[in-house]
Every structure is written in C-alpha cells, then in structure tokens.
Structure 1
Amino acid sequence: MKDSHSHPSSSAAAATTAAEPIAQNMIKLISNLCFSVFVFSVLIFTVIAITYQPPDPWLQSAPALTTLFTQSENATFHIDTSIIKTGEDISPSPQDPPLPFPSQSAAAPAVTEAVIEKAEERIANLTPPLASPADSDDAVGVVRGPCADAAAAGTLNCSDPRVLIAVERFNLRTFKSIAFFDYQTPVNGSTADECDVAWRFRNKREKSWRKYRDFRRFKLQLTDDCKYKVVHAGRWHSGSNARRNPALRPRNEGARSGANGKGKALPKISNRDDEINDTIPTLGSAINFRNGKYLYYSRGGDYCKGMNHYMWSFLCGLGEAMFLNRTFVMDLSVCLAATYNPSHKDEEGKDFRYYFDFEHLKEVASIVEEGEFVRDWKKWDKTHLKRNKVPVRKVVTHKVTPMQLKKDKSTIIWRQFDAPEPENYWYRVCEGEAAKYIQRPWHALWKSKRLMNIVTEISGRMDWDFDAVHVVRGEKAQNKELWPHLDYDTSPDVLVEKLKGMIQPQRNLYIATNEPFYNYFDKLRPNYKVHLLDDYKELWGTTSEWYNETTLLNNGKPVEFDGYMRAAVDTEVFYRGKTHVETFYNLTKDCKDGVNTC
C-alpha cells in the first residue's frame, strides 16, 4: 500500500520539475522580445530625430501647409488674409544691434528699477543730502528735490537729474508692458511746473529689436522736503517741446543712391522717424560686380498672387541664395492681389518698401536691387570682349536642386520660370529633397516700420491699456456652406453677450476686423470704449508722416493705404492688447478653414 501511494506523488513531482524549465524559458523569451522591441523603438526614434527637419513657422498648422503645397493643381494660398504675420511675429527676439541715437549709447540697456537706483546713488554721491533721513519717502515716483526754497518759490528745474528719475519711475509703474530706453534730458513745458520728456521704447511683446519714440508732458510737484513727484502725465506725443528739431533730420531716405537730388523736398514733419533708411544699395563699380556671385530669379507665376504666397516664395529664393552663399537679386516691384484692393483688380507697381522693412532686410541678407543689377551687368558685357563676358548659368526648371548648384562657379545663376502654373512658382525650388537644406529666413522679413509707427501711434493713444477682439466677417460670413454659424456668432447682439463674459465693462476695446461697415459695432459702444482702425484715418491721411514718406518713395505720386496695409496694422494692434478674443477660438465653433477642418 505504501508503494502504491508513493507512485502518484513521484509522478507529480516529476511533472512539476519538467514544467519549471518551460516556464523559465517562456519568461526569458518574452523578456528578450520586449527588450528587442524597446531597442528597435529607440533606434527608430533616433533616426527620426536626426533626419527630421522642422517646418517653417507659419499661420497654419503643418498638415494645413502640407495640403496647400502638395496640391499642385491649385497650389496657391486661400488662407485668412485678415491676420497677417511676418518674421517679427514668429521668430525669437535677437540681440539688439547698434542703433545710433543722439547723445545716447546705441546699446543702452532698458531702464529698470535697478538702473534707476544706481542713478540715484550716483546723484547722492555728487550732491549732499538736503533733508534728514527721517524725511525720506520711498514711494514710487517720488525722489529728492534740490531745495525747499525752490519749492516755496514754485520753480521747477527740468534739467535736474532728479526730474528724469521721477519720470522714469512713473513710467515703469504706469506702463508695465513697455520697455523704456534712451531717455533725453527733460526740457521746459508750457508752464513753470511742467517738463517735456522724450524717450525710445519697445513693447515687450514685440520680437524685433526696433524701437519707437514718444514724448510727453509731465506736471511735477516739488514738495517742502525737496522731493519730486509726478502729479499728472500727458497723453501720447503731448510733450511737443521735447520732439526733435526737424531741421536736423536727414533728407535722403527712400531715394536711390546716386540720385541727382532733383526730387521733391519733404515737408518738415516734426514726428518723422529719422532712422528709416530705404536707400537702395549699389554695387559700386564694375569690378565689384564681376567679382560677386549672384542668384537671379526671373518673375514667375507668383506675381499677383496673395501676399502670403509672395512671402512663402520670396523667402524660398532668399533661403537658396543664403545656402549657395550668393547675393540675391530682388525685384522691389510688387503686384498686390485683387483681394486687397477695393477695385477687386490686381495692382502692379507697388513698392516692396510699402509693406516690409527694407532696411532690416539689407542688414541681415546680401541683396541687390534688380534694376541696379541688370544695369551693371549690361554695362560690363558692353565694355568687355566676348570672352570676358559675365559667366551665366541658366536654370530653366525648378527640378534642378540647390544642392546641384552648390559648386557652380558662374558669376550669375539665373533661374527662369517660364513653365505653366504651378510649375513656375518660386517656392517649388524648395520642395522635396531641397526642403532638408533650405531654411526660409523668416527673421529677415519684418513689416515696414512706417506701418509699425502707425501701430505704435494707435496703441499709444490708448495708453497701451486696451483689450482686443478679432472679428472675421467679409466673404466668410456670407459663405454659409463653409461657415454656417459665423454670421450669427459675430452679429452685434451676440458679440455683446459673448464679450461681457470676457472683457470688463468700459475698457478700451480695439476691434480688428474686415467688416466694411463702420457702424456695425455700435451696439458695443454702451459697454466699451470701442476703437476701430478707421478712427485713426489721419495717420495715413494727406497730412501724415506716412503719406509724405510713401509719396517720396513713389516719385511724388500719392500711395493708397490698401487692404494689406490695413490688415497688417490691425494685426499688430490686436497683438498688443492685454486680452485677445479670437473669432475661431472664442466667438464661433466654426472651423477656421471651413467645415470639418478643425
């Protein structure tokens, strides 16, 4: 019996022993498989990280861009033109370059509380204290004055450095979104207790290094214990005595280098921006021309397309020139597409400098204007023997890649775009394999500073304290098939209800919109201080700085403030608002690019 009972136990033990190696092998097999999957995943991720080229920054998402540029049968832009972005909106702010400014260091840092405290220390070391420490007052905007006798006499010495310190502190406290630079010594205002002060500044949200001017009138009080205090500050550009002397400004901006000087003289405009330099660079001599290397794009199918299309193509050409280490030959003549014109017709002969910052482009890229380039080219070929003519490589198709041209020794690489659309679009050069090598230099393309001066003027008149709403209407509101709810969601009654929950009542409200009827937003006025672009028409009217300077660029002919300029200014003022309300994110559930594109 004992043996019969022990046999089953032995069998079970043997089975257990045999099963253990199988289980262990299975665990090892699964572990090895998981480890292999992990290693393979890491390998794939590493390859992607090395080879991936990030897309150019743009208004649209990467999938939207892919869709736009892979549909060759309709490879043009059909995106929202009521919001316009350029390089200063999408690239990081670079280090400030040297910018000359009278009696100030070009690279002077922003005025901060720490800078003010150091200035006070220097003043204290130079001047003995005029009141006991017990009388000190650390309130913002209050510093020591020169003497109690002056307070009793009611006189104010605007050149006293303590006046400037009081103004600097007041500005820091009042305008928190502004970085201040290059204060000038205060001068007398209109009465004995007023001083006019000028400075340069930049909005902290702006990503470019450009600076703008303001000059305001301040009423200051000199207290009995010799301290300065700002008791009232004037509005934007109210300090007229601190504006620069217009007689000292240069008068050659916008003219071609070597011009005969017979053009119309500019009227004296006291607020003119002296730092804009729109002069067209010249090659200097025939020898300089022959020793250069150029990339020349003939006009293609991009001409008279929308401005977003233009920028996409232009930056492709400029990016290829940088890749090839060549000077880019650019045509300053722009054709403005019908969508921006009241006539609904394309308008040729617009100047690049109306819309973009040519001075900045010259600083960051090697460029030459097409007219100057062709003139020097013809002059060289005409005065030299045939065997010494300029070597030219003509490229008749975009399928010849920049990589294939990298080692070409020709003085001129001439890309010709004579094929039918869309084969004749400049941006086709940067497609496919070339996209891995050509980076569009977005940092080179900024909005015109003349337009940005209008933006600054509008924002300054609202004392930089406003909220903004972007209301897309126009043709989109009428297209119920693609945007079924947009018209209703942006109607006046609905806007009033929606904005009540987003913006405090009686705030300054700037409305960036393509709605053509000025009175459309009147129902918002009882609740907000409504501002529209057309409220500031005098900034581009016949007596404005913008009007006179663009007229000079256009050989004495007035320039229209067109739809693209309106959209550019609207966009930038919108960005400077403290609260942003977007049409397709806050006001409607419709998709930005139409039904089912969210």
Structure 2
Amino acid sequence: MRDKFYLYWGNRIDCPGKHCDSCEGLGHQESSLRCALEEAIVLRRTFVMPSRMCISPVHNKKGILHQSNDSHVEEIWAANFCAMDSLYDMELISKTVPVILDNSKEWYQVLSTSMKLGDRGVAHVEGVSRMELKENGFYANKLLINRTASPLSWFVECKDRKNHSAVLLPYSFLPSMAAKRLRVAADLVKESLGDYDAMHIRRGDKIKNRKDRFGVERTLHPHLDRDTRPEAIMCRIKKWVPPGRTLFIASNERTPSFFSPLSMRYKLAYSSNFSSLLDQVVANNYELFMVERLILMGAKTFIRTFGEDDNGLSLTDDPKKNTRNWQIPVYSLDDVCQT
C-alpha cells in the first residue's frame, strides 16, 4: 500500500463549490476533472475518481435529433446520475494518470490505512497550490492528500488555463477516453458514414434572450441564433464542405426538421439515423454526446459552433464565453452571404 500515494478531491465533480446542490453539463464537469487529473500528474499520485457523475436535467433532455419509441429507454434517460465507468475507460485513463474509483476495494483500504496513520498519513489541504504540494517535503510522504476542505469548485483550482504551457491534458483527452462500448458504437457509425464531414451546433443552451428596461430584446451571443440557422450555415460552410458531401450534425436543437434545408446541398446524417444501434448502448445524453464527439473527431472536416482556437472552423465569430455584455440580436445575412 505504501508504494502508492493518493489524491482525493471529493466524491462529486465540481463540488464543493456553488454547484453542490445541482451540477453543470458534461463539458463543464470535464474541465474540472481535467484540472484534478493534471494535479495528480504533477504530484505523481493516483487520483481517486468519483464513481458517479451528476447529470443535470437541463442537459439530459432528448433532442429532436435522437428520439426513441421505447418507453423503457425513456425511463432510463430520466436518471440524475450515471456511473463514471459507463462514460470513461479507467484502464485507458490510467495509462496517462493512474486512477481508482471511490467505490473500489483499493480506496477502502486507503481510507482504513489513513485512519490508522492519522495526521501522519493524511494532509487536509485548502488554498495550497499544486507546486507547493509538490515541492514542500511535508506533503511528500503523506499517503493521502485530501482537497475536500476547499470551498472552490474544482475547475477554479486551474485558473491559468489560457497559459497553454500550464495545461498538461488537452480538451480532447477525456473525449478520447470514452468507455469501450461507446468507442465501438462510434466506430460502427463512422464506418457506416464512410467519408464524411461534421458539425456540432449548440443552440438550445446558448440562445438566451431577455428584455432590458426599455423593452429591447438582448442576448449574450448576438449573432448565434442567425449563424446557426440553415440559411446562414449554407453560406458559411460552402468554402469548407463541397456539395454532395455526407454531413453529420450533432445538435441540441429541439425543433423538428430544423436543419432540413441543408439537404438541398448535403446528405444529412444524425444520431437518430442509428437509433437501432445507439439505443442499445446509450442511457443518457452524456453517453450519447460521448459517442457523438468521437464521430465528430473522425470527420474529414469538423466545424464547431464557436471558434475555440486559431486553426479551427466555426459557425459564428461570437465569443463562446460572454457573461455580462447583453447585446441586440443580429439577424441580417448581409455580412454572412456576401459572395
């Protein structure tokens, strides 16, 4: 036991912090999980992974692009959590950073040993940087470093994410660590699609309008609604995706046939086209998105909703993160469809 050392951040991703009574979406929780895993890499410790991930009801609504007539499937989708190993392959993750689940026999043994050792075996830390944990000899031989005393959400511990040299795990790390059955399902879909392009289109959770004190409609992403409509998409992607190509669309749009106008130029495909396969594999929207992300990653040309780096293609030039600047929505296509 003592040849291993452990790092524990708690049994809920993003908790403690302001999301203890609820939880964020998969992407937000993955940002927090990557932060904790990066610290385990720096400290050369085994990370104690929560055995469950909270599922936010807001992010677990079945979109129009993936429906099922199976009432049992619909009932399963109503769950508010899922097993962590139903999303991720723990053996695969452990090739980069060793992990164990907090419902494993090994973790119970660690807890038992740490109780016997008391302060000699456990360091309860708050407000201590990972570099201090690494360089301060006081922590070096502690069996367990316990970060649950921190009142901060997990991702807040990684404030310097814009400094790429400080990021040890890329965004693509956890999506590529999907559970084996999800990877197999994605491979089958990709094989069926053949040579294809893909788009991830966020609408439902990002298009939020409100009226100011003068009754004027405002939104945080003034061009997003326009830029993710079929007519704007057609103009935007024509230089990237030639006519006649197979175009896989992953989206949280809930209006039936919303993207159908794109079929004038492309062969459209959605996860719903593969329901007979996916309904046997996915039990919630998080698992579905894990599969969809693998499909998106396999496309010849992949187009995101928001520009997330200098080299990626995106449907809108609006910044992804805007929490304060409410602006008047823009719907004119003049600056989109100029030839």
TM-score w.r.t. the length of structure 1 is: 0.41
1:532-561 Cα offsets, whole Å, 9 max, x none, are 1211112222xx3x26xxxxxxxxxxxx23
What does residue 485 of structure 1 align with? 223
Q: 1:355 aligns with which of 81, 87, 92?
A: 87
The Cα of 1:450 is off from its aligned counterpart by 2.5
What does residue 212 of structure 2 align with? none
In 2, distance between residues paired with 1:472 and 1:393? 43
Structure 2 contact 134–140 (Cα < 8 Å) conserved: no
2:259 is paired with a residue of what secondary structure? Answer: helix
Q: 1:574 aligns with which of 296, 312, 327?
A: 296
Gaps of 5+ in 2: 63-76, 210-217, 307-312, 328-339
Q: How does 1:231-310 map to 2 (within 5 A)?
A: 289-299=1-11, 300-301=15-16, 304-310=23-29
In 1, distance between residues paired with 2:258 and 2:165? 49
2:139 is paired with a residue of what secondary structure? Answer: coil
Matched, 1:398 2:127: yes
Structure having the higher Rg: 1
Q: 1:447 aligns with which of 154, 171, 178?
A: 178
Matched, 1:367 2:99: yes
In 1, distance between residues paired with 2:262 and 2:168? 42
Q: 2:38 aligns with which of 303, 319, 332?
A: 319
Structure 1 contact 472–515 (Cα < 8 Å) conserved: yes
2:257 is paired with a residue of what secondary structure? Answer: helix
The Cα of 1:440 is off from its aligned counterpart by 3.5
In 1, distance between residues paired with 2:137 and 2:48? 17
In 2, distance between residues paired with 1:519 and 1:437? 43
What does residue 467 of structure 1 align with? 197
In 1, distance between residues paired with 2:10 and 2:261? 51
In 1, distance between residues paired with 2:137 and 2:166? 12
What does residue 254 of structure 2 align with? 516
In 2, distance between residues paired with 1:316 and 1:503? 35
Matched, 1:506 2:228: no
Going from structure 1 to structure 2, the CA distance change for 1:504 and 1:301 (only over 3 Å counts) comes to: same
Gaps of 5+ in 1: 1-288, 548-559
In 1, distance between residues paired with 2:191 and 2:45? 41
What does residue 143 of structure 2 align with? 412
Bigger helix fraction:
1
In 1, distance between residues paired with 2:297 and 2:196? 11
Structure 2 contact 32–155 (Cα < 8 Å) conserved: yes
In 1, distance between residues paired with 2:43 and 2:94? 18
Going from structure 1 to structure 2, the CA distance change for 1:406 and 1:310 (only over 3 Å counts) comes to: farther
The Cα of 1:478 is off from its aligned counterpart by 4.6
TM-score w.r.t. the length of structure 2 is: 0.67
Letter of the 1:397 counterpart = E
Structure 1 contact 323–438 (Cα < 8 Å) conserved: no
Going from structure 1 to structure 2, the CA distance change for 1:365 and 1:529 (only over 3 Å counts) comes to: same
The Cα of 1:453 is off from its aligned counterpart by 2.2
The Cα of 1:500 is off from its aligned counterpart by 5.2
Q: How does 1:2-401 map to 2 (within 5 A)?
A: 289-299=1-11, 300-301=15-16, 304-342=23-61, 349-371=81-103, 372-377=105-110, 391-399=120-128, 401=132
What does residue 287 of structure 2 align with? 565
Structure 2 contact 60–284 (Cα < 8 Å) conserved: no
Structure 1 contact 321–327 (Cα < 8 Å) conserved: yes
Letter of the 2:196 counterpart = F
Structure 1 contact 496–524 (Cα < 8 Å) conserved: yes
In 1, distance between residues paired with 2:92 and 2:256? 35
When the two chains are superposed, the root-mean-square deviation of aligned CA atoms in Å is 3.8
Going from structure 1 to structure 2, the CA distance change for 1:369 and 1:491 (only over 3 Å counts) comes to: closer
Equivalent pairs, count: 282
1:490-541 Cα offsets, whole Å, 9 max, x none, are 3334444555565333332222222123411222324322111211112222
Q: 1:531 aligns with which of 248, 269, 284?
A: 269
1:452-479 Cα offsets, whole Å, 9 max, x none, are 222222221122x123233332243453
The Cα of 1:414 is off from its aligned counterpart by 3.4
1:423-482 Cα offsets, whole Å, 9 max, x none, are 3333455558xx99976345864233332222222221122x123233332243453522
Q: 1:424 aligns with which of 136, 152, 169?
A: 152
Going from structure 1 to structure 2, the CA distance change for 1:497 and 1:451 (only over 3 Å counts) comes to: same
1:334 is paired with a residue of what secondary structure? Answer: strand
Going from structure 1 to structure 2, the CA distance change for 1:418 and 1:454 (only over 3 Å counts) comes to: same
1:349-400 Cα offsets, whole Å, 9 max, x none, are 4212222221211233233332324422465589xxx6x7793233241236
Moved more, 584-593 or 362-371: 584-593
Instruction: Work out the percentage of aligned pairs sharing the same amino acid.
Output: 24
In 2, distance between residues paired with 1:503 and 1:291? 54
In 2, distance between residues paired with 1:346 and 1:334? 14
1:359 is paired with a residue of what secondary structure? Answer: helix
Going from structure 1 to structure 2, the CA distance change for 1:310 and 1:474 (only over 3 Å counts) comes to: closer
